[in-house]
Structure 1
Amino acid sequence: MAMYMYITLSEEDRIAQYEVDASTGALTHIGNVRTAARPAPLAVNPAGDRLYVGCRDAIAISTFSIGDGGALAHISDVSVDNDPCYLSTDRAGRFLLSAYYEGGRCAVHAIGDDGAAVSPPVEWLATDKGAHSMQTDPANRFAFVPHISGGNGPNAIFQFRFDVETGHITPNTPARVTPDAELGPRHFCFHPHKDILYFSDEQGCSVTAYNFDADAGTLNAFQTTTTLPDGYEGQNSCSQIQIAPSGEFLYAPNRGHNSIACFSVDAHSGALTPIGHALSEAVPRAFSIDPSGQYLYAAGLDTGKLAAYRIEDNGTLARIATYDVGEGPMWVLIIDG
């Protein structure tokens, strides 16, 4: 089956489209699509036929259809009151969730019959500055919105109940989880087989693992592990985070050390063990693992290049190619064709 990659290029107002060779990981550039100003976050619906793009200078969310060969066709735009930094759909694909770092908000838009986001949103909720991402849990009953720290946020994960019928969210009890240290939770991913969430800590330069109570919808931290090698004292911050489809390995980029931190995941406890670092392009803000779990691609915000890696059997990364993709790569998303 073919795979397709989409990269938002914020300095060029376009999405670059690539076909991914499943046997080698090689990329073939197949086109570009113009967008509104400064495209950044991407999300795809569960059916894989709609792509959502947050355009941070246009202050809008765009919807594209995904057709044969991964081709994109613009459907519509909806204006929002702040610039969106993160998008995801709920698990049923009926609602589009978004987070607003500068605006200190999260939102929920209904998705119409044409697959496009509908305005106005059903939720436009003030949380706090530094809201950086938003997702529902696998059962589609709860939602989480992490907020960074370092003077730019409250250093907390906001916990919500999610109504799958209406899209409304209400604060859970407790309404937030606050790390013991100034970690700055930013992005998160779910273990594919366990009730565990992993958060990248922007200011803490770490990954924190949380047990997830699937009945109550609450989180409880059980491990924080640095993303940096011993002895490194330079500036750094963490960005995105992803776990391999198998659940065996987890990856988190370092912006400053300019590397991808690699971890193995204990099959029983879900605890992380560092297994090394792979050098990356400068400021690896965005990355993605292909759906098969064989390859990882990380974009350098400062270089406009994409590093391609093979995921080895032990979870370490072997760089296999480098691609010039364009200026200001902000998001990398790979889908099955």
Structure 2
Amino acid sequence: MKLRKSGRLLLAAATSLGAGLALTSCSPSNTVDYVYVAASKNNPGQINVYLADSLSGALTQIQESPYPSGGRNPVAMVTSPNGKYLYVVNKDDNNIVQFAIGTDAKIYPQQTCNTPGSAPLAIAVNQSGTFLYVVDQYSPQYPGGPVYSSSNPGPGDVVVYPLNSNQALTGCTPVTQTFVDSSNTTQTATYVPVGMNPTGVSALANGNYVYVSAQNSASSLGEVYAFNVASGGTLSNVAGSPFQAGTSPSSLIAVTSQNGTYLYVTDSLQNQLITFTILSTGALSPNPNGPTKTDTLPFNITVDPRGQYLYVANYNANDISAYAIGSNGTPSAVAGAGTYATGAGPFCVLVEPALGRFVYTANFIDNTVTGFELNPNTGALTSTQNSPYSASGQPTCAAAIPHGNHSLQNVQSTAG
């Protein structure tokens, strides 16, 4: 299946204790990560749970897998930085579900929250685990304002949920925000509006800034909205926001690398990767070397824990583009192939967080997960043992936590 221009937005929109928590882990001693892959075909959606082997990178699905996702069409998910929780976005039920992660990799639904707007499609958490960010495709109605939906498209929104000291939701009430609407009226609400057709969200590692990508159909120009994050979770616009980002941004990630702090945005229409330097103010400065070529329909992006390499999932090309992050943030193709074949329709890409040695893609069309071993010296990839691995119908996104004594890394795929 190839996606035409008219189908790209549909792809972006299609794209998250019990006694078991106290049990001693029964996972094999060579398990390095627990990997979670959401699948959207069934109702409710499903979460596939795998053990990742530390030597080969091979994935083994646990016996009880898959689990219900808590709603229809799970399109995005993220793990808490402490590895205790999995947060899943179910787009068609307008909810996010918090799952507790057991010591045996099993997941236990804890809390379900409906978002203020409709059709949530992206999620991120800051590195300190104090705020959860969720993007709705359509913002809710404010007093005197219109009701937005697929039949009456309008701006999206970003919502901030506070997390407690254990990095769990404190309830379903978002942080109260203040913004000026299109009629120049100050509004107080549980969200902040962004542009039309938002696609992704990413928080800077220091927690000071959060970024949202949007495909602004009105202007035919892509945008990135940049927000300052106050200590209580309130958002305010960074000067100059929104920043132009190609024509059809599909995903983004904020990276603190060995060479600086950058924001990378995939442009699915122009088949390119756009690089910005993140300034001390949170503003974005375009890379003077311009965008970098990708393969066809780049959709999702991730970075390795060392901040050296970027990997882009190209949906129509059925492959991954691999890049090294240069001294000024410019991506350059890794030595060798540069692109690596995956299953059909890679929807997202993830570097496992324990060692940063294995890369996985969730392949929407052929219902598989492709695995690669990452060479930390070059960024090159080779297939893992027994790859690809079976998954439930229409895999959309992936997340992972380290298992055992491995240190936690702030690595997650973005979903848009």
Same fold? TM cut 0.5: yes
314-323 vs 283-292, which moves further: 314-323
- Structure 2 distance, partners of 1:253, 1:95, is 27
- C-alpha deviation, 1:55, in angstroms: 0.6
Residue 100 of structure 1 pairs with residue 132 of structure 2: no
Which letter maps to 1:107?
A: V
Residue 141 of structure 1 pairs with residue 208 of structure 2: yes
Aligned to 2:230: 163
Which structure has the higher relative contact order (CA within 8 Å, separation 6+)? 2
Normalising by structure 2, we get a TM-score of 0.74
Identify the match of residue 82 of structure 2 among 18, 30, 47: 47
Which letter maps to 2:34?
A: Y
- Structure 1 distance, partners of 2:341, 2:218, is 29
- C-alpha deviation, 1:121, in angstroms: 1.6
- C-alpha deviation, 1:335, in angstroms: 1.1
Identify the match of residue 111 of structure 2 among 67, 76, 83: 76
Are 2:350 and 2:361, in contact at CA under 8 Å, matched by a contact in 1? yes
Aligned to 1:288: 350
Are 1:150 and 1:182, in contact at CA under 8 Å, matched by a contact in 2? no
Aligned to 2:58: 26
- Unaligned ranges ≥5, structure 2: 1-30, 140-155, 176-189, 404-416
Are 1:129 and 1:154, in contact at CA under 8 Å, matched by a contact in 2? no
Aligned to 1:86: 122
1:185-334 mapped onto 2 (5 Å cutoff)? 186-193=251-258, 194-214=260-280, 216-222=281-287, 223-228=290-295, 236-266=296-326, 268-275=327-334, 276-291=338-353, 292-312=355-375, 313-320=377-384, 321-334=387-400
- C-alpha deviation, 1:136, in angstroms: 2.3
Aligned to 1:232: none
- Unaligned ranges ≥5, structure 1: 229-235
- C-alpha deviation, 1:219, in angstroms: 0.8
- C-alpha deviation, 1:265, in angstroms: 2.0
Identify the match of residue 56 of structure 1 among 84, 91, 105: 91
236-245 vs 295-304, which moves further: 236-245
Normalising by structure 1, we get a TM-score of 0.90
Number of residues of Structure 1 aligned to a counterpart in Structure 2: 326
- C-alpha deviation, 1:177, in angstroms: 0.8
Residue 128 of structure 1 pairs with residue 195 of structure 2: yes
- C-alpha deviation, 1:309, in angstroms: 1.1
Give the number of the structure whose alpha-carbon radius of gyration is greater: 2
Deviations 1:81-115 (CA, angstroms, capped at 9, x unpaired): 31211111123212210112354111111225771
- Structure 2 distance, partners of 1:152, 1:173, is 20
- C-alpha deviation, 1:153, in angstroms: 6.8
Are 2:74 and 2:91, in contact at CA under 8 Å, matched by a contact in 1? yes
Deviations 1:140-165 (CA, angstroms, capped at 9, x unpaired): 1111111135669751111111012x
143-152 vs 197-206, which moves further: 143-152
Are 2:130 and 2:165, in contact at CA under 8 Å, matched by a contact in 1? no
Which letter maps to 1:96?
A: L
121-130 vs 46-55, which moves further: 121-130
- Structure 2 distance, partners of 1:185, 1:79, is 24
SS of aligned partner of 1:285: strand
Which letter maps to 1:65?
A: A
SS of aligned partner of 1:8: strand
SS of aligned partner of 2:92: coil
Cα 1:3–1:197 change in 2 (3 A) is same
- C-alpha deviation, 1:192, in angstroms: 3.1
Aligned to 2:8: none
| Segments of 4+ moved more than 6 angstroms | none
240-249 vs 59-68, which moves further: 240-249
Aligned to 1:233: none
Are 2:343 and 2:388, in contact at CA under 8 Å, matched by a contact in 1? no
Deviations 1:292-323 (CA, angstroms, capped at 9, x unpaired): 12111112101101111112342222223111
Which letter maps to 1:111?
A: L
Residue 110 of structure 1 pairs with residue 146 of structure 2: no
Are 1:188 and 1:200, in contact at CA under 8 Å, matched by a contact in 2? no
- Structure 2 distance, partners of 1:9, 1:185, is 19
- C-alpha deviation, 1:200, in angstroms: 1.7
- Structure 1 distance, partners of 2:219, 2:51, is 38
